[in-house]
Homo-oligomer: A and B are copies of this chain.
Amino acid sequence: MNSPAYLELKRLVEEHLLDFLPEIDPMSRTLQESMSYSLSAGGKRIRPVLLLAACRLAGGDLAFALPFACAAEYIHTYSLIHDDLPSMDDDDLRRGKATNHIVYGEAMAILAGDGLLSAAYELMTKQMLMYLDDSLSLRRMAGACYELSKGSGVRGMIAGQVADIEAEGKDCSKEMLAFIHNNKTAALIKAVLLAGCTLGGGSASLREDLYFYGENVGLAFQIIDDILDITGDEAVLGKRIESDAQAGKATFPECFGLEDAKLKAAELLGEARERMLKYEDDAEIFTLLIDFLEGEIEQ
């Protein structure tokens, strides 16, 4: 994740993340501050980077995909702000900083989340209006916007979050756990890959490969997140550990043990790596992410 290839895309996202926000009236200045606070809190920017990488792998243009990459990060950031709320996961620390509601209060945190979600669609549809006379681009943008809405919506990320809450304190079944992981994390990761592929005009076979990669990496990502909640270092992670166990969350290590969780994550990543082999150096970003996640398992 510190390789020049990854950092180039990450920098591109971070340079535009705040600029792409709609101009907000000074009368609602706190909203602007609250949204910017969470957008600027760092993070690996995995979702927007993957969207850009998928678009490029499909033969598309980075500048064309950039607003959609930033929109994906708005969506991811809104979900973090709402997840951290007292009535949800009740987290006070994220990426080493106080969570949004700790700084701005609950009402503003809810509105900042709503604002970021709305800003994502305002940005994407505004972009469409710039291509009204280019029906191929317009079609691709509509397709990408649909992928993101589906992956982050009630058949994706939100469904996973609901199931996660409902499973708290209950015996976890394999099916329930698979549903939670697949939706809570993998759905948005798959969506950014499909959105990038659509924007770049990728083939059906690339689409299938990216879907497979996204599902495997998304699941591994969530399992590793749950492993680190047990074995990790609070200072390194920038968030509280052991919060899952305290909340009685259904997690992979909780249900199948730590060692099996590590093996499962490694297996998923191995399959994803193999699937991308055929793209050789063009799949560098995808391989770098796998390298990084494999390193996290061993920590």
Output the least CB separation between A273 and chain B (Å): 30
A39 contacts the other chain (CB 8 A): no
Quick one: which of A111, A161, A183 has the most chain B CB within 10 A? A111
Query: Looking at the complex, which one of B35, B113, B122 makes contact with A149 (CB distance below 8 Å)?
Result: B122
Contact yes or no, A118 B153, CB < 8 A: yes
Smallest Cβ-Cβ distance to A125: which chain B residue: B146
A27 contacts the other chain (CB 8 A): yes
Bound CA–CA A92/B124 (angstroms) = 36
Quick one: which of A78, A149, A154, A163 has the most chain B CB within 10 A? A154
Residue interface bits A132-146, CB-to-B below 8 A is 1, else 0: 100100110111011
Output the least CB separation between A102 and chain B (Å): 13
Contact yes or no, A159 B24, CB < 8 A: yes
Q: How many residues of A contact B (CB 8 A)?
A: 61
Contact yes or no, A142 B149, CB < 8 A: no
Quick one: which of A31, A110, A113, A118 has the most chain B CB within 10 A? A118
Bound CA–CA A75/B78 (angstroms) = 16
A46 contacts the other chain (CB 8 A): no
Residues of B near A141 (CB, < 8 A) are 142
Bound CA–CA A70/B31 (angstroms) = 27
A217 contacts the other chain (CB 8 A): no
Contact yes or no, A35 B154, CB < 8 A: yes
Contact yes or no, A139 B138, CB < 8 A: yes
Query: Looking at the complex, which one of B25, B153, B163, B165 makes contact with A159 (CB distance below 8 Å)?
Result: B25
Output the least CB separation between A143 and chain B (Å): 7
Contact yes or no, B158 A31, CB < 8 A: yes
Can you offer 28 A-B residue contacts whose CB atoms are under 8 A?
A: A22-B155, A23-B155, A24-B154, A27-B163, A27-B179, A28-B154, A30-B166, A31-B154, A85-B107, A85-B110, A87-B106, A87-B110, A107-B165, A108-B162, A110-B110, A111-B161, A111-B165, A114-B114, A114-B117, A114-B158, A117-B118, A118-B149, A118-B154, A119-B153, A121-B149, A122-B155, A126-B146, A138-B142
Binding site for B on A (CB under 8 A): 21-25, 27-28, 30-32, 35, 78, 82, 85, 87-88, 105-108, 110-111, 113-115, 117-119, 121-122, 125-126, 128-129, 132, 135, 138-139, 141-143, 145-146, 149-150, 152-155, 158-163, 165-166, 175-176, 179, 183
Further 12 A-B residue pairs, CB within 8 A, beyond A107-B165, A118-B158, A121-B145: A24-B155, A28-B158, A28-B160, A30-B166, A32-B154, A78-B114, A110-B110, A111-B158, A114-B117, A118-B149, A118-B153, A122-B149
